[in-house]
Amino acid sequence: MTASSTPVGELAGRHIVLGLSGGIACYKSAELCRLLIKAGATVQVVMTEAATQFITPVTMQALSGRPVVGSQWDAREPNNMPHINLSREADLILIAPCSADFITRLVAGRSDELLSLLCLARPMDRVPLLIAPAMNREMWLHPATQRNLRQLQADGALLLGVGNGLQACGETGDGRMLEAAELLEEVIAHFVPKTLAGQRVLVTAGPTYEAIDPVRGITNLSSGKMGFAIARAAQQAGAEVTLVAGPVHLPTPRGVERIDVRSAAQMLAAVRPLSEHASVFVATAAVADWRPANASEHKIKKDGSGKTPQLEFTENPDILATLAQSPRAQAGQLYCVGFAAESQDLLANAQAKLARKGVPLLVGNIGPATFGQDDNALLLVDAQSAVELPRASKRLLAAQLVAEIAHRLNAAKPTT
Ligand code: CTP
């Protein structure tokens, strides 16, 4: 198995030039700078003069821990060439916010102020330029802006899109800069190798909830965090990802399509048609094994006699086993990965489950030690071997598992 360890911070070792042009969204760039640094990056802030009208270089210097550069005549650079030095050091340049005017400057290849100059001077083959536009909705929709954006992309910049909503001007529509957390996700994703490009990944996550009556039900302690982390990692690795989630309180990973369900039966009904188009299925959901056989239409009331209701159970469908036995899985078109939540004897239980579910890869973990936590330890079990992924954040483990799945898919490809 190839699972490798990566640095703890997802941007550890990365150097980002964060460029601010003029716009009210500059206030979000302070938070973005903080998030980039928390993720392990070093950040060099470059501001246009217009940007300094909205937020001070002092704020950005304090957050980045480096003096902000704003002029191509900055004599602090020994060779007096900040446009060369800053663009050569960078692993990535992110312009956030990128104003309509700054887009025009980039399209024209202007070089009369530092930020557009260093974008022009960047080595295009190794320093990507990411653009986070921010402007009023009419400016965004204007044919001139849209034309410039098409040209900017044709010239090699990566456009991160805009948000929709209430704007600082009081109007509502497209043109808001993406939120700092969204931009952080885009930057992290940019550095992830696209090992799952062209794959369609289906993930189940979270618990299921089986109704007893309209106000009560049976569920379990699964938080869904592991499954959400796997959906995120697969999306960042270039896959098209659909996440079928039981009742959880987690934000949808960026770029992932999410379908919410409650019961095991609903989960199976959602997953079945999706599996017809998927190439990978990862079953992380803690599906309830049983459901009340006859859920009451109305709330079950106490009758005063002290007698407790007698609940009868019926077994839920096994979603993973159902998909693993499907014709597509049997024909090698759907690669199924199971999880095993155990409380003891992890290896033996995981090996038994691997055989019982009929999957090529099963991921064992100790349920009570991980439910609700941000970290976990995994045991990857297949017919030949068992490999431990030591305790780490669920995000890191998810990235390792996705790399392992990609490796197995590649190994299974016929050689030409
Ligand atoms: N699973 C499923 N549908 C079910 C039960 C489990 O798809 N009705 C999947 C889970 O998503 C997981 C794997 O099967 O990938 C194993 O789940 P787990 O709860 O550990 O095992 P069970 O099959 O329920 O077996 P047991 O309760 O005996 O441990």
What's 317's domain CATH number?
Answer: 3.40.50.10300
Q: 191, 219, 251: which is the final residue of a domain?
A: 191
* pLDDT at residue 413 greater than cutoff 90: no
* pLDDT at residue 66 greater than cutoff 50: yes
* pLDDT at residue 97 greater than cutoff 80: yes
Within a domain: residue 5? no
- Residue 73: its pLDDT value, please? 93
**366 and 262 part of one domain:** yes
Q: 159, 191, 223: which is the final residue of a domain?
A: 191
**140 and 94 part of one domain:** yes
**30 and 113 part of one domain:** yes
* pLDDT at residue 412 greater than cutoff 60: yes
99-110: average pLDDT: 98
**112 and 232 part of one domain:** no
Number of domains in the chain: 2
Within a domain: residue 249? yes
Q: Which two tokens stand for residue 352?
A: 């038994």
Is the beta carbon of 337 within 6 A of some atom in ligand 1?
A: no
* pLDDT at residue 416 greater than cutoff 70: no
Strand pairing class (158-159; 129-133): parallel
Within a domain: residue 296? no
**141 and 270 part of one domain:** no
**125 and 238 part of one domain:** no
**364 and 259 part of one domain:** yes
Tens digits of residue pLDDT in 205-254? 999 999 999 999 999 989 999 999 999 999 999 999 999 999 999 999 99
pLDDT band at 75 (very low <50, low <70, confident <90, very high): confident
Residues labelled catalytic: 169
pTM: 0.93
**127 and 263 part of one domain:** no
- Residue 279 near residue 197, CB atoms below 8 Å: no
Within a domain: residue 297? no
* pLDDT at residue 84 greater than cutoff 60: yes
- Residue 371: its pLDDT value, please? 83
The closest residue, in CA terms, to atom 27 on ligand 1 is 289
Q: What is the CATH number of the domain that holds 140?
A: 3.40.50.1950
Within a domain: residue 38? yes
301-330: average pLDDT: 95
Q: 191, 208, 236: which is the final residue of a domain?
A: 191
Tens digits of residue pLDDT in 259-297? 999 999 999 999 999 999 999 999 999 999 999 999 999
- Residue 97 near residue 134, CB atoms below 8 Å: yes
pLDDT band at 368 (very low <50, low <70, confident <90, very high): confident
Phi, psi of 91 (to 5 degrees): -90, -20
Within a domain: residue 67? yes
The rounded percent of the chain whose pLDDT value lies above 90 is: 90
Burial class (CB in 10 A: 0-12, 13-18, 19+), 367: middle
Among 221, 230, 289, the mutation site with the greatest number of ligand 1 atoms within 8 A of its Cβ is 289
Within a domain: residue 407? yes
pLDDT band at 204 (very low <50, low <70, confident <90, very high): very high
| Secondary-structure percent of the chain, ordered helix, strand, coil, rounded to 5 | 35, 25, 40
Residues 6+ apart with CB under 8 A from 6: 396, 399, 400
From the list 186, 19, 51, 14, the residue with the least C-alpha distance to 119 is: 19
9-26: average pLDDT: 97
Tens digits of residue pLDDT in 116-149? 999 999 999 999 999 999 999 999 999 999 999 9
Is the beta carbon of 336 within 6 A of some atom in ligand 1?
A: no
Q: What's the gap between Cα 103 and its chain centre? A: 27
**166 and 213 part of one domain:** no
**165 and 240 part of one domain:** no
From the list 5, 1, 7, 10, the residue with the least C-alpha distance to 379 is: 1
- Residue 174: its pLDDT value, please? 94
**204 and 187 part of one domain:** no
Q: Alpha-carbon distance 104 to 102, whole Å?
A: 5
- Residue 100 near residue 139, CB atoms below 8 Å: yes
Q: State the distance from the centre of ligand 1 to the C-alpha of 405, rounded, in angstroms.
A: 20
Mean pLDDT of the chain: 95
* pLDDT at residue 352 greater than cutoff 80: yes
* pLDDT at residue 6 greater than cutoff 80: no
**83 and 24 part of one domain:** yes
* pLDDT at residue 7 greater than cutoff 60: no
Which range of residues forms the domain containing residue 205?
200-291+313-412
Is the beta carbon of 17 within 6 A of some atom in ligand 1?
A: no
Q: Which two tokens stand for residue 282?
A: 């990862």
344-373: average pLDDT: 93
Q: Which amino acid is at 61?
A: Q
Is the beta carbon of 203 within 6 A of some atom in ligand 1?
A: no
Within a domain: residue 298? no
Q: Alpha-carbon distance 17 to 93, whole Å?
A: 5
* pLDDT at residue 14 greater than cutoff 80: yes
